[in-house]
């Protein structure tokens, strides 16, 4: 498996995170990149650094005003006397508020959903590098049939003009848009992170050329709270092109795998030109902020099912937080995925696709 990564990923290194009434060490640490990269390299996968494709692939998904804020915010820190190592705001826009302000604190609140996405000295370089890993991997998957984009920071909670949930740029959506442009589409996204991919859903909700399917823990009392319900099916041209499959908290392998199978069945009917998988490992039974009980055996089984679903599959790293199981689950998934692909390739002609 070719693994695309960006060394600049470590330049965003937040410290504290206000969660459930207290400040805790930030779960989305730079160490995630080091651990995942080390695990992939140790398992014998081929590593390649992301190329810099510039701002245009990001502009295909995100608004110019949002990108401009992310790119320039740290350079404007002197507008806020007393700022230390990161910029945060306690003021957030609500739907009933009308204007986009000019001041930095107001702009951060306008473009951010919570306090999990502080701007630091190296934040832009890190998130830009993570997005470039997704773009480079999208190009690679058309040549190799499969690739893994080791994106960190993650991205699936980022909307076209908003950060949140540790995410700034939506790597999964950027990769899908890249593949759409390269193949003519349509493209399917399967999100198996424990959290609903609300940003990805929001970006494509009114479109019919990208199918978004998310398997996640019930958001009624879990992040992202305000999206991820089964009743959300798309709107306008996108009606029917969004499928949410929420699971009861504490669900284990059987329920999770059965729901993934349901999502893959819908994807097969959509007949996409490529499949993008938002690959979160925070559904693990050992994840420190997860809500499901998926085992390493479950991740192996999911990998085999996904490998059987399409000839062109891009894996984009999303969540999965610091615990001993994190690198084990990545290696188990990639090994099972590759073995299954080899098996299916021997039995089917080039370009095979279940459901076509």
Tens-digit pLDDT profile for residues 165-201: 999 999 999 999 999 999 999 999 999 999 999 999 9
Is the pLDDT reported for residue 349 higher than 70? no
Half-sphere exposure of residue 304, counting CA atoms within 13 Å on the CB side?
Answer: 11
Mean pLDDT score, 104-117: 96
Percent of the residues in the chain that have a pLDDT greater than 70, as a whole number:
97
Is residue 47 within 8 A of residue 40, CB to CB? The reply is: yes
In whole angstroms, give the CA distance from residue 337 to residue 327.
15
pLDDT tens for 45-104 read 999 999 999 999 999 999 999 999 999 999 999 999 999 999 999 899 998 988 999 999
Alpha-carbon gap, residue 54 to 74, rounded angstroms: 20
Catalytic residue among 157, 196, 216, 310: 157
**How many CB atoms within 10 Å of residue 82?**
4
Known catalytic membership, residue 5: no
What is the rounded CA–CA span in Å between residue 6 and residue 36?
12
Residue 302 CA to residue 299 CA, distance in Å, equals 5
Q: What is the pLDDT of residue 352?
A: 44
pLDDT at 18: 83
Cβ-proximal residues to 72 (8 Å cutoff; 6+ apart), any chain: none
- Is residue 151 within 8 A of residue 342, CB to CB? The reply is no
65 Cβ partners below 8 Å, 6+ apart? 100, 161
| Sign of CA pseudo-dihedral 49, 320, 92, 229 | positive
Average pLDDT, integer, range 36-48: 98
Region 214-238: what's the mean pLDDT? 98
Task: List helix spans (H) across 43-93.
Answer: 56-59, 64-72
- Please answer whether residues 182 and 37 qualify as being in contact, where contact means their C-beta atoms are separated by less than 8 angstroms: no
CATH number of 2-347: 3.40.800.20
Place 294 in a pLDDT band, splitting at 50, 70 and 90.
very high
Q: Average the pLDDT over 212-241 and give the result.
A: 98
What is the Rg, in whole angstroms, of the alpha carbon atoms belonging to the chain? 19
Report whether pLDDT(353) > 60. no
Structure tokens at 183: 């193949």
The residue written with tokens 């773009």 in the block is 135
What pLDDT does residue 70 have? 98
Q: For residues 220 and 108, what is the distance between their CA atoms, to the nearest angstrom?
A: 26
Question: What totals of helices (H) and strands (E) does the chain contain, helices first?
Answer: 10, 12
- Boundaries of every domain in the chain: 2-347
Directed axis angle between helix 123-144 and helix 171-183, to 10°?
40
Write down the pLDDT at residue 22: 86
């Amino acid at each position: 498996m070719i693994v695309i990564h960006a060394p600049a990923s470590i330049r965003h290194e937040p410290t504290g995170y206000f969660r459930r009434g207290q400040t805790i060490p930030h779960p989305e640490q730079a160490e995630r990149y080091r651990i995942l990269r080390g695990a992939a390299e140790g398992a014998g996968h081929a590593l390649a650094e992301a190329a810099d494709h510039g701002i245009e692939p990001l502009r295909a998904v995100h608004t110019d005003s949002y990108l401009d804020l992310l790119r320039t915010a740290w350079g404007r820190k002197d507008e806020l006397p007393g700022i230390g190592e990161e910029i945060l705001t306690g003021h957030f826009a609500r739907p009933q508020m009308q204007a986009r302000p000019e001041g930095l604190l107001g702009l951060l609140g306008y473009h951010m959903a919570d306090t999990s996405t502080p701007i630091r000295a190296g934040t832009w370089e890190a998130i830009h590098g993570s997005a470039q890993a997704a773009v480079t991997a999208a190009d690679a998957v058309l040549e190799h049939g499969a690739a893994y984009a080791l994106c960190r920071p993650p991205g699936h909670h980022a909307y076209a003009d908003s950060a949140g949930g540790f995410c700034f740029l939506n790597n999964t959506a950027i990769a899908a848009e890249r593949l759409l442009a390269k193949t003519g589409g349509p493209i399917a996204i399967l999100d198996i992170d424990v959290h609903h991919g609300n940003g990805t859903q929001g970006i494509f909700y009114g479109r019919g050329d990208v199918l978004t399917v998310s398997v996640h823990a019930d958001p009624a009392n879990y992040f992202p709270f305000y999206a991820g319900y089964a009743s959300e099916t798309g709107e306008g041209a996108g009606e029917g092109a969004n499928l949410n499959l929420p699971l009861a908290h504490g669900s284990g392998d059987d329920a999770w795998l059965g729901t993934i199978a349901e999502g893959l069945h819908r994807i097969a009917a959509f007949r996409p030109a490529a499949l993008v998988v938002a690959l979160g490992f925070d559904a693990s039974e050992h994840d420190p902020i997860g809500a499901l009980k998926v085992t390493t055996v479950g991740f192996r089984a999911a990998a085999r099912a996904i490998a059987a679903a399409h000839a062109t599959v891009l894996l984009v790293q999303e969540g999965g937080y610091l615990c001993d199981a994190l690198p084990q689950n990545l290696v188990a998934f990639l090994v099972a995925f590759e073995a299954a692909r080899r098996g299916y390739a021997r039995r089917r002609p080039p370009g095979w696709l279940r459901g076509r």
